[in-house]
Structure formats: structure tokens, C-alpha cells
């Protein structure tokens, strides 16, 4: 039997044997996906790091409220406004706040930023041995491997003391942008047949500036571009402990493993198309819309095509309008609102207002169309993915870097959650699964069919 036929046969065995009657989930009150019946998340832990607010609970019912994203008790909008008012890059202050639980003084911020800058270079021979000699077509895969390989370059990888874990975490926060950028350059060379540019990171530059510098052949970028990317990094740095990748780092850290294993697992989670890869699906959908809608300013034409998408008659036939809806946010996703407002400014500068207005029209029309089709009372709003891909495309960031860029930002939140688990956790995660397979009498091999 050919190998492909063998795996086809085995796949059918697994498919047939692993099916579970969906009615059993209700019978045993199983919280599928760790979700309650009303859509809220099952409460599995406590955190002081981040909070995602999109509704209030009154008598067990969700009441929609304007969305808020909180970092250590501070509204993320305040962090962005503070950075803008001082004409500073804000991601480094955001990372300090998430890791240490307090806003830094100017002296503390300068000290922390200088330390991050001093650690952006990868260890000696790492780039050649771990990136160039083993390139990957998927940069998230390369990023995860880079994190795990960092274990071998750490002088004390197994020390789980708080001081050592902090060192490892801060070094990862610093180096993630370099790992992602170099992984992209290797992919260009070995998979795309293009030139590869390995620039050295500059210690005096912010995370946003260094990332743009490392992915561009000429290392050039404008201050406006870097500042917009900085805002995107702030908005993606943390999103509460319940998102899949942050939960992953809590679960793996609770097993008392090393920092690189825990962070590598979180990268694997974020790679998933149901998690960090969503903004790429938005861009693919927008390509399809722009191809089929002749007049982007014609509301009737746009509405008609969105209705076809939502009715499973167009694009990928899933019925999903990507970039719409969120598990928590109801009235609005504050990240989407902030990105939209700032994206408009750059779109005007780059002559892309027609495309930007198309995004805004979709944000306005899609909730109406989905309500007309499905008629439920759940409020739908645009999520951050609707605008993040558009922002990255205006910054000339390749699509294969969209999800790695998410990781470059979220590493600060992941590390904060790992530290919190070490300090305040103390118990390995051990949820229960109900076995619904009946007990069988053993069949000797000569009697099997």
C-alpha cells in the first residue's frame, strides 16, 4: 500500500473513532472551549495584569458597554495619549508597566529602554547557526524555534528563580523583533529567491523603529510610520489572561518548566488561524472585495457583496465577515477605534483615503447585514483585526510578518503572565475531561476483524 493510501486509511479510522455526540456536552455540562452557555469565559484564575471590558453582567445577562482595555488598572488609551503628548515611543513604557506593575519614572524608563537596546543583538553565531542554516517558510515557526534555541545560548536556562526569569523575559522582549525580522530575511533568501538584508539593530532605537529598520533593505522609515507601529504594538501587548496564548503560558508555566519552553508554547498558540492569524484573513477578504466591487464608494454595491459573503455565496463561503465580532467587546473594540483614527491620518498622507473609507463603510454596514441574516440580539462590532492589517500594509510590512509582529508586541504580556504564575500560581493546571467511551472486553489478535 502506498504511503498516501496508508495515511488515508488511518485518517478514516481516527475520524470515525474520535467523533463525539454533541448532545453529551449538554448532558455533562461541559464548558466547550472554556465558555459558559451565555458566551462568557469560564473563570479559571485571577490576574492583576490586564482586563478586557465589553459588557456588564446583570442578573446573569450580558449588558453591552463601551469597550475598555486596561493594563495594570490603567486604560490603554491613556498610555497612548501620554506617549503622543511627550512625542515619545510608548511600547517600552507599556512593557515596563506590564512586567513590574507600575508606571516608570523618566529615569526608570530610560534605564529600562537602554537595557532593552543593549540586548537586541542575538547571541554570537545564533543568526548563522539557528536562523540562516535552518530557514522556515513560516516565520512563526521560525520564531518558536528561535525561542527554544535560545535555551542553548543561556548561561543559566533552568534557574526558575524570579530574578533569573526576569532576566530571561526582558531579554526575550528585547530580541523578539530581531528574531522575527531575521527569520523574514532568511525566508526571503531561501524561499522567495530575493535578496537578504541582515542589518544590526541599533541600541538607541525603540522596538518599532528597530523592527522597521531590520525588515527594510535601505533601513529607512519615517517618524510617522514608526509612531503608528508603536501604537499598534501598545494595543497588542496584552489582552487579559483568558486569550488562548496567555492561557497557554499560564498552563505551561504552572508545570514548572523553563521560560523558553513556556514562551515557545505561547508562540505556537498565537500562530493559530483562530488566534493571531486573523488579520491576514481580513486582508484576503479585502482583496476579494476590492476585486469584485467596482465602485468602493457605492454603499449599495458594497452592501450587496457583503451580503453575498455573509450568505456563504462569495469569498471563502464560510459566511464570516472577517474583522467583525469579538468574544468580549460588544459596543466597540477600543483597539479598533484607536487604530482607525490613526490609520486615517497616514492614509491621507499616502493617498489611500478611498481604501480607508471602504474599511469604514464595511465597519458600519457589516453589523447591520449580520443582524438581518441571523437576527440574534448579540451586538457585533469591528475588532482590531479589521484595521491592523491595513495599517501594516500602509507601513509596507509583508503579510507573512503580520502574526510575528503580533508576537513581537505580545511577548511583554506573555512574560508578565509567566511571572505572575510563578509568583502567585503554585498549582499545576489540571482540568477534567469526561470519558464517554464505554468499557470493552479485550479481543485477542486472532479474533479481530
Give the C-alpha separation, 160 to 156, whole Å. Answer: 9
Give the C-alpha separation, 32 to 20, whole Å. Answer: 12
Say if residues 62 and 39 touch (Cβ distance below 8 Å): yes
φ, ψ for residue 405, nearest 5 deg: -65, -35
Say if residues 415 and 263 touch (Cβ distance below 8 Å): yes
Residue of 239, 250, 326, 342 with catalytic role: 326
Please write down the long-range contacts of 298-304, taking CB distance under 8 Å and 24 or more positions apart. Answer: 299/361, 299/365, 302/358, 302/361, 302/362, 302/365, 303/365, 303/369
Residue of 51, 230, 258, 385 with catalytic role: 385
Give the C-alpha separation, 186 to 133, whole Å. Answer: 9
Asked if 239 is an active-site residue, the reply is: no
H or E, element range at 103:
none
Asked if 326 is an active-site residue, the reply is: yes
φ, ψ for residue 177, nearest 5 deg: -65, -35
Say if residues 139 and 404 touch (Cβ distance below 8 Å): yes
Asked if 385 is an active-site residue, the reply is: yes
50-58 sheet: strands from edge to edge: 50-58, 61-71, 74-75
Q: Are strands 61-71 and 74-75 parallel, antiparallel or unpaired?
A: antiparallel
Residue of 154, 275, 288, 292 with catalytic role: 275
CB atoms within 10 A of CB 440: 6
Nine-digit cell at 206? 525603540
Q: Which residues are catalytic?
A: 275, 326, 385
Amino acid at each position: 500500500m502506498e504511503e498516501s493510501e496508508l495515511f488515508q486509511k488511518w485518517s478514516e479510522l481516527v475520524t470515525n473513532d474520535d467523533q463525539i455526540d454533541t448532545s453529551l456536552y449538554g448532558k455533562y455540562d461541559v464548558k466547550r472551549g472554556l465558555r459558559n452557555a451565555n458566551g462568557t469565559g469560564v473563570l479559571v484564575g485571577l490576574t492583576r495584569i490586564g482586563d478586557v471590558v465589553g459588557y456588564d453582567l446583570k442578573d446573569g445577562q450580558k449588558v453591552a458597554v463601551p469597550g475598555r482595555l486596561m493594563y495594570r488598572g490603567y486604560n490603554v488609551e491613556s498610555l497612548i495619549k501620554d506617549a503622543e503628548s511627550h512625542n515619545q515611543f510608548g511600547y517600552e513604557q507599556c512593557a515596563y508597566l506590564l512586567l513590574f506593575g507600575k508606571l516608570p519614572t523618566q529615569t526608570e524608563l530610560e534605564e529600562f529602554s537602554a537595557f532593552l537596546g543593549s540586548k537586541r543583538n542575538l547571541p554570537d553565531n545564533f543568526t548563522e547557526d539557528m536562523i540562516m542554516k535552518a530557514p522556515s517558510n513560516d516565520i512563526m515557526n521560525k520564531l518558536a524555534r528561535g525561542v527554544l534555541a535560545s535555551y542553548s545560548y543561556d548561561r543559566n536556562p533552568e534557574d526558575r528563580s524570579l530574578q533569573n526569569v526576569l532576566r530571561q523575559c526582558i531579554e526575550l522582549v528585547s530580541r523578539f523583533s530581531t528574531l522575527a525580522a531575521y527569520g523574514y530575511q532568511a525566508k526571503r533568501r531561501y524561499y522567495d529567491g530575493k535578496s537578504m538584508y541582515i542589518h544590526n539593530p541599533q541600541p538607541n532605537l525603540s522596538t518599532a523603529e528597530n523592527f522597521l529598520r531590520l525588515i527594510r533593505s535601505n533601513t529607512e522609515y519615517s517618524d510617522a510610520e514608526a509612531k503608528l507601529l508603536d501604537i499598534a504594538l501598545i494595543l497588542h501587548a496584552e489582552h487579559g489572561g483568558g486569550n488562548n496564548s496567555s492561557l497557554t503560558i499560564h498552563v505551561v508555566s504552572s508545570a514548572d518548566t523553563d521560560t523558553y519552553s513556556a514562551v515557545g508554547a505561547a508562540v505556537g498558540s498565537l500562530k493559530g488561524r483562530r488566534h493571531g492569524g486573523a488579520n491576514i484573513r481580513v486582508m484576503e477578504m479585502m482583496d476579494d472585495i476590492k476585486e469584485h466591487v467596482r465602485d468602493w464608494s457605492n454603499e449599495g454595491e458594497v452592501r450587496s457583496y457583503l451580503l453575498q459573503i455573509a450568505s456563504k455565496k462569495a469569498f471563502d463561503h464560510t459566511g464570516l465577515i472577517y474583522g467583525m465580532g469579538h468574544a468580549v467587546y460588544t459596543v466597540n473594540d477600543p483597539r479598533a477605534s484607536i487604530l482607525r483614527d490613526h490609520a486615517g491620518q497616514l492614509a491621507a498622507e499616502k493617498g489611500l483615503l478611498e481604501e480607508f473609507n471602504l474599511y469604514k463603510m464595511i465597519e458600519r454596514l457589516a453589523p447591520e447585514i449580520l443582524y438581518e441574516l441571523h437576527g440574534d440580539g448579540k451586538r457585533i462590532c469591528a475588532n482590531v483585526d479589521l484595521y491592523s492589517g491595513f495599517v501594516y500594509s500602509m507601513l509596507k510590512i509583508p503579510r507573512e510578518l503580520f502574526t510575528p509582529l503580533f508576537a513581537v508586541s505580545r511577548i511583554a504580556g506573555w512574560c508578565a503572565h509567566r511571572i505572575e504564575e510563578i509568583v502567585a500560581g503554585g498549582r499545576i493546571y489540571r482540568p477534567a475531561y469526561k470519558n464517554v467511551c464505554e468499557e470493552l472486553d479485550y479481543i485477542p489478535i486472532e479474533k479481530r476483524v
